[in-house]
Amino acid sequence: MEKIKVAIVDDNKDLIRTMSAYFETHGEIEVIGTALNGKLCLELLETIEPDVLLLDIIMPHLDGIAVLDQM
């Protein structure tokens, strides 16, 4: 069975670390990328194709809604 590929985007580094650690305990989920803001998220999505994007709404440089508009 293929793993579910997840990308996490949040301006809170601790939250990214916590979520990544949690997903590591579930063999069927793989975190394939993280970003700290919306601008970096769009750059990341040029190089990866996650099955699931966990996207914060309120972030610096480009918020989550703007990211969705640009996808």
Strands 29-35 and 52-55: unpaired
For residues 53, 56, 62 and 66, what is the CA-based torsion angle, rounded to 10 degrees?
70
pLDDT in tens, 5-44: 999 999 999 999 999 999 999 889 999 999 999 999 999 9
E strands in 3-51: 4-9, 29-35
pTM for this model (two decimals): 0.92
Domains and CATH numbers, the chain: 4-70 (3.40.50.2300)
Residue 27 and residue 67: Cα distance in Å, rounded? Answer: 29
For residues 68, 8, 31 and 44, what is the CA-based torsion angle, rounded to 10 degrees?
60
Tokens of 60: 């610096």
pLDDT in tens, 54-66: 999 999 889 898 9
